[in-house]
Structure 1
Amino acid sequence: MTTEFELIARIAALFGAPEGVAVGIGDDGAVLDPGRFDLVTMDTMVEGVHFDRDWSSPQDVGWKLLASNLSDIAAMGGGPGAFFLSMALPAALDPGWPEGVLEGIKEAARALVPESFEVSAGGGDLSSTHGPIVLTMTLMGEASPAGPVLRRGAVPGDRIVLLGQTGLAAAGLAILRGDVDVEPGQFACALRAHRRPGAQVRAGALLGLYGVPSAMIDVSDGLVQDLGHILKASEVGARLEAYSLPHHPELVMLREEYGVDILRLMLTGGDDYELLMTIPPARMPKIWDMARRHSWDVHDIGEVRSPDEGLVVLGPEGEPVVFEHGGYRHFEAK
């Protein structure tokens, strides 16, 4: 294993000092430029819970760690900035593994972050562990001049809009775990969606800038569960029209050739990192215009209703669909 100080030096060399950080790697703490960042998010990835080294490379893990954080900032209508990285690594770990994680973070920053934003390392922490690998990233961000978009703000009559597609990452995980007996080479998009998800960085920032959503969240724990967070925060109900959800060709293949229940994957699968929002009817022309201009994959999938109606999910034929729960839950006994 590379020494702690060698790894710190490598991080400093790989990532330049980010804008908004006056003092970064090399001191007891970072010093931020006053008033620069007003958004903060944090995500942790634990080996055996969020990734498996048998089917994900260290570059995949690093990519996904940054993508999950970027998606949170996007969901608040802001733009990303400096990140702080913590790694707890076994002493016997191949030194190439943490190096690969750093490479994956760098690759994701290049691929997912528009040039108008600068995402780089402002500091962090390193430790050894006798347990599984634990990676934690804290990402700073800036809200739009209109202010952050929160989960609360939806009102009855708002439309429920999905930017992107759901279910593909969950399908990829099922294939990798062997839950579905298929030829993995047929499902390259699903495997990539699990290993190297996207993040709607530019879209989130633009939606926040133009004040389009009344509420927004990223889909990380499952569409139904994450919609439920908006409903709870906004104290409203909803009708989710599952028949309006997009069907990726690989999901269609899983259903038609292998009998997989793709509706469950699309409604309760996690790790999609797409944006789910509510939009007042008067602002719907704006989202359609933005979708045309920026080639966004936008879908109108339901309506916010009164709180006494709760959440009603309508299936392919318009029938009510019931699930035991709507997505991934930490701390739940298996």
Structure 2
Amino acid sequence: MPDRSFLSWPFFEDRHRTFAENLEAWCEKNLPVGHSDVDAACRELVAKLGRDGWLKPTAPDRANPSPLDVRTLCIARETLARHDGLADFAFAMQGLGTGALSLFGTPEQKQWLDKTRAGKAIAAFALSEPRSGSDVANTDMTARRDSDGFVLTGEKTWISNGGIADFYVTFARTGEAPGAKGLSAFLVPAETAGLGVAERIEVIAPHPLARLSFNGVRVPASALIGEAGAGFRIAMSVLDVFRSTVGAAALGFARRALDESVARAATRELFGAPMAELQMVQGHIADMALDVDAAALLVYRAAWTKDTGAARVTREAAMAKLYATDRAQAVIDKAVQLHGGDGVRKGHVVEGLYREIRALRIYEGASDVQKVVIARQVLGAQ
């Protein structure tokens, strides 16, 4: 039984505890799904999550709009990740992919939210490029104005849900000013002429990823999200909300690794006694539990701070993502060690966790970049 005592912390309200309990019950019945066909699995997960109402927190209800609740998003990602990394991915991308629409979209653009919340459309966030990952201001892709809209030309890469998404929130250079101030965001349906999948990308923990080509992709003026030149601010605002949730997913992976290790230590015998009686094993378990609780405190502090009215949580979110993802890597590594040969056997739970965790230290701001962000926040406050 996973530790749920953290739900009694003052960060949470009764609605969060009820949500966590109900989602846990749903996960036990529905997860994991088969991963032999990743595209099909993701489509199935989005459809199931939407059908049963679990995608509602990823975007506001247009009929009764309210701000995104980051604590709910974090609880969802932690719970889903503990059961199935691909389920976490499917949930997360519905939120990240629609974040710009949720925060800055027009009423017409927000019609997509009805579909994504119901699991009837798949969203994607097209920001990274071959020369600009963490350095968003270095974006090369252009959006040239024409008489009745824009023409997008360039490439995006490492795009989650690439190849299966129904639309892409895409960032391109419109040139209002140099660097970050000359970017804009656009809503681009997947069937738009000139938009193609140049390459499907395979990674150690399979997810739908692709390099996209935009060859003279023409979109109407109504495709512009927010104001022209506001793309960098839009992207950072979205990441400010969802960066903490990456830490929550890492926390879910770490909790599962700890649970598996505790069960292993209690049932496996070494030298005529349970592993749990060995002091070295006890030391590993203690370190893992400490890392899990410390990560949870940082993740839910960031989420609570955002939910209680902070305009930006750049520092808190960066700390949460950096610490939770790095320490989850350490927790899972210890779990592999405690499982011995089973820990590296393909198909074992901790072997899967070992592959899943690594990407979280890279996407939505690599660990080294988060250190720069934190340092600048601290130095700027002096």
Q: Which has the higher helix share?
A: 2
Tell me the TM-score normalized by structure 2. 0.24
Higher strand residue share: 1
